[in-house]
Structure 1
Amino acid sequence: MPINNNYDEQTIVKSIAVALEEFYSALIAKVDQLNIKSIMKRKNPYLFRAKAMNGAAQIVDAILAAFVSSSEETIFGNVFFEPIATAASQGQKALAEGVDIMVERDNTIYAIAVKSGTSVFNASSKKKQEQNFMAAQKLAQQVHKRFVPIIGYSYGKKKVSDRGVPKFYQELAGQDFWTELTGDDKFYIKLIRYMGTLPEKYVEEFEKSYQKAANRLVKEFTTEFCLEDGSIDWEKLVEFNSGK
């Protein structure tokens, strides 16, 4: 029995629009705040030299692309899936720690922890998630409700193991997760369709921010870490990165 088999498509589309706005706003803000010194403190100068990366623009292209790739995955996971899952399940923002959505149906409380991909947990964080579910379960018991905890992975596949102690919570990924929320086994595909042309609204603004950052970082790198002839001062870069 799905949690909610009567989701509203327009509400889903509105949730996607808001999520995309937040995603691009946060990503652009991070790109706009970049400066070369903060980046180079965390980068491996020996690797750049080993790869014969001898141009400021070459290094900036690499670090900027890596920064955006890392940042966009984190930001997207934080802002996109939870509000859509909330709208799809017609649930409420949970107050319990480690639980994102609470849905109350008849005599049952569903506690849903929404995750991005299926590789988000290590042993410690999985144990913490289990403890959070147990704490939420006590609250449900106080009001004499059946308690159903779910870890929902918004994309990917999750193989259920039958080894070890049976879990008191469900782990559902991709199609299985969205079907559990909506009763619609095609919802995970519809989610892509519902985006429509909304992402295209933000591409131009993001590209402008990206190019400005690239130009700014090349200028900063040249000023800080290049010699008068334009070549990279590798010793100065290493000293900045690793010296006392």
Structure 2
Amino acid sequence: MIDAHQLEEKIGELLDEFYKRRTDKITGLKLKQTLKRKNPYLYRAIGVQKASEIVEGLLSAYMSSSDEGIFGDAFFEPLAKFVSGGVVSPSEGVDVAIETKTTYRAIAVKSGTSVFNAQSKRRQVDDFKALGNRLRKLQKHFDPIVGYSYGKKKQKNVETAAFRELAGQDFWEEITGDSEFYLKIIRLMKNKPQEHLLSYKQHWDAAVNRFTLEFIKGFCDVEGNIDWEKLVRFNSGRN
């Protein structure tokens, strides 16, 4: 059983890293790179008139998507390694390896349960197979697992599946032996997020101001109206 104080310290350390990465992301973000990936026709169709509205929508959508990946890499994956007693796996497609005298557990840590499409699932199967082939000489039971850090997953055809799928409470209990661990994660965050929010909000507001100024200069007319054709040319024109 992991010491509660050590676990709280680790969770705090991982939250520090998460906020550092998301701050770096929003600080380094470029307006035009982001605009190229958005739908200008949709903004026009829903009646957007303010540059700041487009900018805040861009930032919210981008950071929401980015945060999920950052949190998985900076928080869930290292936490799983820490609490399982495993090591970072050197194998492609596997994040944590837990080896005993009789078993080699290879764990791919994911965030939610909707990460796979058909192609990425096949790639995960291939990665596990390649690792299993390399480990045959050890003569240990090979146990490949995809662990979803939150959510629920009812796996079909468990006996014939290429790997086990465990989600939320089941996943964290599998690697810690503690059925309540998934709740301990949220409890032990305590006030750490609030400690970071003021600094992050300052970076957010600065990005909104920076992007709004750049958008007005680049895509508004002299009266301050959005030049939709100019925006669409930038987004979708050949040149």
State the TM-score bracket (shorter-chain normalisation): over 0.9
Length-normalised TM-score, structure 1: 0.92
1:82-101 alignment runs, 5 A limit: 82-101=77-96
Q: Does 1:137 align with 2:132?
A: yes
Match of 1:218 in 2: 212
Cα displacement string for residues 14-70 of structure 1 (whole angstroms, at most 9, x for unaligned residues): 332232122111111111122322222222211111111111112112111111111
Partner Cα separation in structure 1 for residue 3 and residue 145 of structure 2 = 22
* Among candidates 40, 58, 68, match of residue 63 of structure 1: 58
* Among candidates 11, 23, 26, match of residue 28 of structure 1: 23
Matching residue's letter, 1:198: K
* Among candidates 192, 195, 206, match of residue 201 of structure 1: 195
Is 2:68–2:111's contact at 8 Å kept on the other side of the alignment?
A: no
Partner Cα separation in structure 1 for residue 142 and residue 73 of structure 2 = 25
Cα displacement string for residues 100-125 of structure 1 (whole angstroms, at most 9, x for unaligned residues): 11111222111111111111111111
Cα displacement string for residues 191-234 of structure 1 (whole angstroms, at most 9, x for unaligned residues): 11111111122111110000000011111111111111111111
Match of 1:233 in 2: 227
Is 1:54–1:231's contact at 8 Å kept on the other side of the alignment?
A: yes
1:25-174 alignment runs, 5 A limit: 25-162=20-157, 166-174=160-168
CA RMSD in angstroms, aligned pairs only: 1.6
Match of 2:176 in 1: 182
Partner Cα separation in structure 1 for residue 3 and residue 128 of structure 2 = 28
Seen in structure 2, the aligned counterparts of structure 1 residues 87 and 9 have a Cα distance that, compared at 3 Å, is farther
Match of 2:237 in 1: 243
Is 1:7–1:90's contact at 8 Å kept on the other side of the alignment?
A: no
CA displacement at 1:97 relative to structure 2: 1.2
Partner Cα separation in structure 2 for residue 166 and residue 115 of structure 1 = 21
Is 1:109–1:145's contact at 8 Å kept on the other side of the alignment?
A: yes
Q: Which runs of 5+ in 1 are unaligned?
A: 1-5
Is 1:225–1:233's contact at 8 Å kept on the other side of the alignment?
A: yes
Partner Cα separation in structure 2 for residue 40 and residue 74 of structure 1 = 20
Partner Cα separation in structure 2 for residue 142 and residue 162 of structure 1 = 28
Higher relative contact order (CA 8 A, sep 6+): 1
Is 1:8–1:88's contact at 8 Å kept on the other side of the alignment?
A: no
Match of 1:3 in 2: none
Q: Secondary structure of 2:153's match?
A: coil
Seen in structure 2, the aligned counterparts of structure 1 residues 168 and 241 have a Cα distance that, compared at 3 Å, is closer
Name the count of aligned residue pairs.
238
* Among candidates 1, 4, 12, match of residue 7 of structure 2: 12
Partner Cα separation in structure 2 for residue 235 and residue 132 of structure 1 = 47
CA displacement at 1:181 relative to structure 2: 0.8
Partner Cα separation in structure 1 for residue 163 and residue 68 of structure 2 = 26
